[in-house]
Amino acid sequence: MQNKISRKNRVKINILYLIIAILLSSPFYLEASERQSIKVKADDSISFLSFKIYGRFHPEMLKQFSKINPHVKDWNNLTVGTEIKFLTEKEMNSIIPEQKKEVIIITFLKHPVKIKKGAKGPHKRALLNMILDSKDCIEVRSGGSVELMMSYGRVIRLNEGSTLKIGTLKRDEKKKSVVGKFKLFLGRLWGKVLKARSYRKKEMYVSTPTLVAGVRGTAYDLKLKRDQSTIIKVFEGEVEIYNPLQKMPESGVIKDFKKPHRVKGPHRITEKEWNEILLRQYQQVIVTKEGISEPIIFDYEKERQTEWIKWNEERDLRLSERET
């Protein structure tokens, strides 16, 4: 009798092992076992971390995060040291497919920052994880700063005293490209395009009254003064500088040039050169209403000791670093 019971128990045990083996080898279990956990650091937001993991953010993701992170009560105010679990990219894509419409998310916010929704909307207090769209205007007042992120690793940060208007936000499925165009009216901007895993062509243009800057997988600092002179410094990669008298076509390539600005002073470049300039790493130019200076090498080691540049480069590193 005991042998009989033992044999039955062995059969049950073998069946149980088989069930466990099937569960462990199932796609659901494998996906769950590959989920990543991140400990919240200072200045982290859920949208920032979502861009870090998935390269995008959508408010619907919060429902999924809440299911596997019941300990998090306020997604708009994360506590440093809190551990957050994330679905795998495959899981998230199956639940919330990538949106066809291109938008911008506020991923870092230090008030006072105001948002004007649309061409005629009133100014409202900016909110963390807020979605922005074409024609929205961001005004960063004294003491404030803000970070804006788009799909495929495109980042814009604004320092205090800056005003930026969102222009074109476009995603072309046929050309496999994403385009973002912005106009800086005043202040200081950091532009960055991360080397995202994507087959898409990533375009981001920022214009001022005196130049248009086009990004090529780079990081740059752009400052527009009240006299409308613009200083741009490239810290990584290359930046295309266009004459603002030229109308930027949707393709981003200018073919028919108008008369460019003339250069005054000791530094001169030709009209042909000012049609389009390729500014390389550690080069800068100063552009005024009268003209543009010759590109020169700036003291990048000194610049990296300043609070603004140091914060931006640390922020970029945080976005691209792997979690351990």
Helix residue ranges per DSSP H, the chain: 2-25, 27-33, 46-54, 61-68, 89-95, 271-275, 300-303, 307-320
End position of a domain, from candidates 66, 99, 132: 99
227 lies in some domain = yes
Predicted pLDDT at 170: 86
Confidence (pLDDT) at 203: 80
Look at residues 99, 126, 146 and tell me which one is the last residue of a structural domain.
Answer: 99
Do 79 and 225 sit in the same domain of this protein? no
Q: Give the 3-state secondary structure of residue 210.
A: coil
Whether residues 108 and 79 share a domain: the answer is no
| Any domain includes 261 | yes
Do 94 and 112 sit in the same domain of this protein? no
CATH at 61:
3.10.350
Number of CB atoms found within 10 A of residue 252's CB: 17
Please check whether residues 198 and 260 belong to one and the same domain.
yes
Range(s) of the domain holding residue 89: 34-99
CATH label of the domain that carries residue 179? 2.60.120.1440
Residue 7 lies in a domain: no
| DSSP at 322 | P
Residue 191: what pLDDT? 96
- How far is C-alpha 44 from the geometric centre of its chain's CA atoms? 14
Check residue 248 and give its pLDDT. Answer: 47
What confidence tens digit (pLDDT) does each residue in 248-293 have? 445 444 343 333 333 333 344 555 555 568 889 999 999 887 778 8
Same domain, 93 and 180: no
| Cβ-based neighbour number of residue 48 at 10 Å | 26
In this predicted structure, what is the pLDDT of residue 175?
A: 72
Structure tokens at 92: 């998230």
Q: Give residue 259's pLDDT.
A: 36
Question: Which residues of the chain have a pLDDT value below 70?
Answer: 1-5, 7-8, 11-33, 196-200, 216, 245-276, 323-324
Sign of CA dihedral 86, 89, 94, 99: positive
